[in-house]
A and B are shown apart, each in its own frame.
Chain A
Amino acid sequence: MPLKPSFLAPFNEFVAKHYGKDTGKMLIHTGVVGWILSAAAQVMAIVVNDKIPKEQKMYLVPQELADAGVNILSFYTITQGCKSVASKLVKSGKLLPKTIRGILDAKGLTDKVGSKGFDIFKDAALTPAAIKRLEKFKSGVDVTAATIGSVLSCNIVTPIVRNEIAASRQKDLVARMNNADTNHSSYVKPGYAYIKHPSMYDFTHNSSSLKV
């Protein structure tokens, strides 16, 4: 009996076409989707929580969205940047394994390396075996770059930026609360008036979403 494609065929084809050969790209895109889902889950948890007053939700939801924005922007910019540099280094011929460099030298293409528009996969007339070897090398370089980028963004840049934002937010909130306590006529931003003073518990337990 001949096998027929399942009803998921269009989705399967899409995944195969876009990520079937490029693990680095998959790591970046699934990383972004992961951050979006984490943030969406956190926002949903706040929205459906009956114990949180509506006025507090008005403050907490934008706060979560702002955190998500920082996470996603930092992750995508840094990781995509690292991967993009790595891919271009290989494609332009600036970073190559010994065997491929030898082929380029033998073909007299050394001067073309790194020049604008030079693509080693298209312009070097490599044999299918050499292209396969180069693709394996490029895939390794891409995955290494994507991993370095994600470590850099998730573990160094994002925590520093998030701590800065959380600390200034905490400071701002305390200042507004003190202002509201001492001067009843002063303007208090909607939502702030209903929030109790932030405690250490609030700061350490609500400062970021759980990464999936």
Chain B
Amino acid sequence: MAIYGLNSIRTFSNAVSNRVVNAFPTMTVNSDKANKAISWIGKHISSPENRLILGVSALMSQPFIDLHNKKVDEDTRKVSAARTVAKIIAGTSTGVLIRYGCIKAIDAFSKFPEEITATTKNPRLKTFFTPFEAIKGGLRDLRHYKSALGTLVSLGVMVFTNFLIDAPFTKFMTNKFVDKIHEKDSQKQVQNKEVRDAA
């Protein structure tokens, strides 16, 4: 059932993308700088950088979406935005750090056979994640492989850190932000009262 659903989404997505591609004009990237930048992105941007971009852009969009949600009252909007900001900061910082750490860890255990010398300790451990294709000499670039494996491992780690770090950190920051919001609101109320009394 789930596979049928995924296939349907893929078929729909394919049909839409075919139409979009047909409607696109032919384009050539003429600038050397732009071509270099595109190649650099393909080589260097991986899941930690992707998560960072997601987090930064989330900070620039999601709180404003919450603040403009007219279906709930003003106080709910403010608290909802505060919670969103806290959630993004907690999720992004742990997400980026854990992804980066896991990719580094995989890198340490995905060495090529030529990097193993007679003095290397635990040679089997150092090649624990090296694909057999690379041991045989067929695969020479492991950058994307290490990123992929590191990201998969980090997802397993984050199931636990989601509760152990993200949730309490989010709660702590939300409470801080909400206290600040309520403090500002009560100050405003006092100021308004003073203005009214003076009038």
Q: Using CB atoms and an 8 Å cutoff, list the residues of chain A in contact with chain B.
A: 1, 3-6, 8-9, 12-13, 15-16, 18-23, 26-27, 30, 33-34, 37-38, 40-41, 45, 73, 76-77, 80-81, 84-85, 88-89, 92-99, 101, 113-114, 136-144, 146-147, 150-151, 154-156, 159-160, 163-164, 167-168, 170-171, 200, 203-205, 207-208, 210-212
Contacts and interface: CB of A to CB of B under 8 A. Distances in A.
A145 B102 CA distance: 25
A146 B42 CA distance: 11
Give me the 7 closest cross-chain CB pairs, A-B, nearest first.
A139-B42, A140-B42, A19-B148, A140-B38, A167-B71, A212-B158, A16-B131
7 contacts: A1-B123, A12-B149, A80-B10, A85-B17, A98-B30, A156-B61, A212-B158
How would you classify the secondary structure of chain A's contact residues: helix, strand, loop or mixed? helix
A95 B24 CA distance: 9
Given A8-B129, A98-B28, A3 B145 contact: no
Contacts of B10: 80
Contacts of A167: 69, 71-72
Contacts of A139: 39, 42-43
A33 B155 contact: yes
Contacts of A163: 65-66, 69, 71
A6 B18 contact: no
A155 B42 CA distance: 23
A137 B35 contact: yes
A77 B144 contact: no
B190 interface: no
B29 A73 contact: no
B173 interface: no
Given A13-B133, A95-B29, A97-B35, A6 B42 contact: no
A3 to B, nearest CB: 5
B2 to A, nearest CB: 11
Most buried by B among A76, A94, A146: A94
B14 interface: yes
A21 B58 CA distance: 28
Nearest to B138: A16
Contacts of A84: 13-14, 17
Interface string B144-178: 11011101100110110011001100100010000
A211 B89 CA distance: 11
Most buried by A among B22, B84, B131: B131
Given A8-B129, A144-B41, A30 B124 contact: no
Given A96-B29, A143-B41, A147-B53, 18 more contacts: A3-B124, A5-B132, A13-B131, A15-B149, A15-B152, A19-B144, A19-B148, A27-B46, A33-B155, A98-B29, A136-B42, A143-B50, A155-B58, A155-B61, A159-B66, A164-B71, A204-B79, A210-B162
A202 B14 CA distance: 39
Nearest to A199: B76
A76 B9 contact: yes
